[in-house]
C-alpha cells in the first residue's frame, strides 16, 4: 500500500492528532514548528482532545495529596500550541478508507473531521478487572477530576469520622485502600498518608487512627525501580504505618467494604484503583491488529497497511529496539520522545525530511514518596532519601512544558517546606463525575459499545 499524496497542490495537508497527552502534545508542538515556516509543503495541524489542557499526570498524586493545585499540572493548549486548530471532543470512530473521523462533543453533538494524515495518541485508561463492585465503587487516578475527588473524599471522610458516634463506622471512614503498588499507587498512598497526617496534627489526634492498606498482586512494590530500591520503599511505607499486603487483591467491593483475596474484609468507604492501564477504548474500535491491547505500529510508528496513519504513546505497541522482542512500556518518558519521532515521520510522509525509527534507552524512573523521601534510578544510579527527592523534583520541574506551571509548582514545594499542607476540600467533584465512565470515558460495565 502506498501513501496517498499530501494534499491537492492548492491546499495545506491536514494533519489530525487525536489526544493531547504527552505524545499528542509533543507531536503537535513539533508539527507546528513546520506549519509556521513558509514552505512549499504547507500543513494544517488539528488537535482533538476532550480537554483544553495537557495533563502532567506524574504529579497527580501531589494533587490528590493536597500539595499541588490541579491547575498547576494542566498545560493550556491554546497558549502552548499557537496556530493549531483545537477541537474539543472525543473521537468515537475512524473511517480509515474515507479518511474521516467522528467526534462527539460535551453536549453529545457529533462532527465529522477529514484528515490527510492521522496521528493516534489517545493514551490509556485504567485497567479494570472483572471484580464485582470494582467499576461502581472504586475510583482511579488518571485524571485531574479523579485526583481532586480522592483529595476531597479523604478530607470529607475524616471530617465525618470525627463526629461519627458508631466506632465501627468511624473506623471504616478512616480506612483508605489503594490497589496497585506500582509507582502511581505507591505515590498516591504516600501523598494521602501525608495529608492524613496533617489532618491529625491539626486536630491533635493520633495519626495512626487513620489506616492505609496498599495491595498488589505482585510479590514486591514498584518492580520498576529494582529489588533494592523496592525493598527500601517497602520499609519506608511500613515505617509510616501503611499496611502493605503483597500477593493480595480485591475479590469483591461494596460501598462499605472490600473483600480481599487473603480472606479478610476491610471496612472502608474509599478504594483507589491504580492497578495498571490499558489502551484507550478507541483503539479497539479501529478493528486493527493490536498487541497487549495497544495498536500495532512499526518502528517508524506508522500503522502497517495504513501509511497515512501513525500512533504513539500508551495507545501504541511500539517495538522497543533496545531489547529483543519487546514493546516500550507505557510511560511519559517514551510518549514524549515518540511524539517527536512521529512528527518527523509524518512530515517525511509528505516529502519533508527523512524517516527515523524510534529507539530510546530508558533513563529510569523518579518516584516522590511524600515528606522527605523519594527513590530514583536515573541512568541506572540508585538513589533514595533526600538526593532522590532533589532529583525527582528537579526532573518534574524541567519536564513540565510551561514556565508558569514550573513556577507555580516550585512555589507550592517551597510553601510545603515552610507551611502546613492546606486542608481544603472544595467538594466540587461528585462520586459520579469521578466514576470511570464519566472521568476516563471507559464504557460502563454492561454498556453496549
Binding site for ligand FAD (CB under 6 A): 18-24, 48-51, 57-58, 60-61, 90-91, 121-124, 141-142, 183-184, 280, 282, 313-315, 330-333, 335, 441
Closer of 57 and 257 to ligand FAD (Cβ)? 57
Closer of 29 and 173 to ligand FAD (Cβ)? 29
Closer of 48 and 347 to ligand FAD (Cβ)? 48
- Provide the minimum distance between the beta carbon of 93 and ligand FAD in the complex, in angstroms, as a whole number: 9
- Provide the minimum distance between the beta carbon of 412 and ligand FAD in the complex, in angstroms, as a whole number: 17
State the Cα–Cα distance between residues 24 and 30, nearest whole angstrom: 10
Nearest in space to 384 (alpha carbons), one of 393, 372, 396, 394: 372
- Provide the minimum distance between the beta carbon of 305 and ligand FAD in the complex, in angstroms, as a whole number: 21
State the Cα–Cα distance between residues 447 and 40, nearest whole angstrom: 48
CB 18 within 8 A of CB 363: no
- Provide the minimum distance between the beta carbon of 418 and ligand FAD in the complex, in angstroms, as a whole number: 25
Angle, CA of 429, 215 and 161, to the nearest 5°:
50
* Long-range contacts of 369-372, Cβ-Cβ distance < 8 Å, separation of 24 or more: 369/186, 369/187, 369/190, 369/233, 369/236, 369/237, 370/65, 370/190, 370/191, 370/193, 370/194, 370/240, 371/194
Closer of 133 and 364 to ligand FAD (Cβ)? 364
Closer of 173 and 396 to ligand FAD (Cβ)? 396
Q: Which residue is at the shortest CB distance from ligand FAD?
A: 21
Closer of 244 and 311 to ligand FAD (Cβ)? 311
- Provide the minimum distance between the beta carbon of 235 and ligand FAD in the complex, in angstroms, as a whole number: 21
Closer of 170 and 309 to ligand FAD (Cβ)? 309
- Provide the minimum distance between the beta carbon of 300 and ligand FAD in the complex, in angstroms, as a whole number: 17
Closer of 143 and 268 to ligand FAD (Cβ)? 143
Place of cell 509533543: 26
- Provide the minimum distance between the beta carbon of 302 and ligand FAD in the complex, in angstroms, as a whole number: 17
- Provide the minimum distance between the beta carbon of 256 and ligand FAD in the complex, in angstroms, as a whole number: 26
- Provide the minimum distance between the beta carbon of 390 and ligand FAD in the complex, in angstroms, as a whole number: 16
* Residue 316 CB partners (closer than 8 Å, separation 6+): 120, 121, 279, 294, 295, 297, 301, 338
Sort strands 211-216 and 175-179 into parallel, antiparallel or unpaired: parallel
* Residue 419 CB partners (closer than 8 Å, separation 6+): none
- Provide the minimum distance between the beta carbon of 11 and ligand FAD in the complex, in angstroms, as a whole number: 24
State the Cα–Cα distance between residues 67 and 41, nearest whole angstrom: 46
**DSSP structure class, residue 207:** G
Nearest in space to 342 (alpha carbons), one of 326, 351, 328, 355: 355
Q: Give a three-class secondary structure readout of 5-37.
A: CCCCCCCCEEEEEECCCHHHHHHHHHHHHHHHC
Closer of 6 and 317 to ligand FAD (Cβ)? 317
Q: Between helices 183-203 and 144-162, what is the axis angle to 10°?
A: 30
Closer of 49 and 249 to ligand FAD (Cβ)? 49
Amino acid at each position: 500500500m502506498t501513501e496517498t499524496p499530501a494534499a491537492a497542490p492548492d491546499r495545506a495537508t491536514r494533519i489530525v492528532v487525536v489526544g493531547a497527552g504527552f505524545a499528542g502534545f509533543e507531536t503537535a508542538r513539533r508539527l507546528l514548528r513546520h506549519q509556521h515556516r513558509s514552505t512549499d509543503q504547507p500543513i494544517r495541524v488539528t488537535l482533538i482532545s476532550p480537554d483544553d489542557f495537557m495533563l502532567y499526570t506524574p504529579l497527580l498524586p501531589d494533587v490528590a495529596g493536597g500539595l499541588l493545585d490541579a491547575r498547576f499540572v494542566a498545560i493550556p493548549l491554546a497558549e502552548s500550541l499557537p496556530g493549531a486548530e483545537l477541537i474539543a471532543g472525543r473521537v468515537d470512530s475512524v473511517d480509515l478508507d474515507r479518511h474521516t473521523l467522528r467526534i462527539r462533543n460535551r453536549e453529545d453533538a457529533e462532527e465529522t473531521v477529514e484528515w490527510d494524515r492521522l496521528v493516534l495518541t489517545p493514551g490509556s485508561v485504567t485497567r479494570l478487572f472483572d471484580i464485582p463492585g470494582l467499576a461502581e465503587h472504586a475510583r482511579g487516578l488518571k485524571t485531574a477530576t479523579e485526583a481532586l475527588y480522592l483529595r476531597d473524599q479523604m478530607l470529607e471522610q475524616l471530617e465525618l469520622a470525627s463526629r461519627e458516634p458508631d466506632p465501627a463506622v468511624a473506623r471504616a471512614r478512616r480506612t483508605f485502600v489503594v490497589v496497585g503498588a506500582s509507582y502511581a499507587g505507591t505515590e498516591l498512598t504516600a501523598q494521602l498518608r501525608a495529608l492524613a497526617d496533617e489532618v491529625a496534627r491539626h486536630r491533635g489526634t493520633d495519626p495512626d487512627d487513620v489506616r492505609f492498606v496498599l495491595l498488589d498482586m505482585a510479590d514486591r512494590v514498584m518492580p520498576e525501580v529494582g529489588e533494592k530500591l523496592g525493598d527500601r520503599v517497602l520499609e519506608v511505607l511500613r515505617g509510616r504505618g501503611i499496611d502493605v499486603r503483597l500477593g493480595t487483591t480485591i475479590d469483591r467491593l461494596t460501598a462499605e467494604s472490600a473483600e480481599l483475596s487473603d480472606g479478610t474484609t476491610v471496612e472502608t468507604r474509599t478504594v483507589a484503583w491504580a492497578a495498571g492501564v490499558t489502551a484507550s477504548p478507541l483503539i479497539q474500535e479501529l478493528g486493527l491488529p493490536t498487541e497487549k491491547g495497544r495498536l500495532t505500529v512499526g518502528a517508524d510508528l506508522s500503522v502497517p497497511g495504513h501509511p497515512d496513519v501513525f500512533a504513539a504513546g500508551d495507545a501504541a505497541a511500539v517495538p522497543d529496539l533496545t531489547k529483543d522482542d519487546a514493546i516500550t512500556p507505557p510511560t511519559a518518558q517514551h510518549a514524549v520522545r515518540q511524539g517527536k519521532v512521529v512528527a518527523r515521520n509524518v512530515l517525511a510522509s509528505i516529502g519533508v525530511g527523512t524517516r527515523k525509527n524510534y529507539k530510546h534507552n530508558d533513563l529510569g524512573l523518579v518516584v516522590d514518596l511524600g515528606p522527605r523521601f523519594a527513590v530514583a534510578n536515573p541512568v541506572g544510579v540508585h538513589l533514595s532519601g533526600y538526593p532522590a527527592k532533589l532529583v525527582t523534583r528537579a526532573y518534574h520541574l524541567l519536564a513540565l512544558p510551561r514556565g508558569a506551571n514550573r513556577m507555580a509548582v516550585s512555589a507550592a514545594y517551597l510553601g510545603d517546606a515552610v507551611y502546613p499542607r492546606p486542608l481544603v476540600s472544595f467538594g466540587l467533584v461528585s462520586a459520579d463525575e469521578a466514576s470511570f465512565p464519566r472521568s476516563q470515558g471507559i464504557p460502563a460495565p454492561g454498556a453496549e459499545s
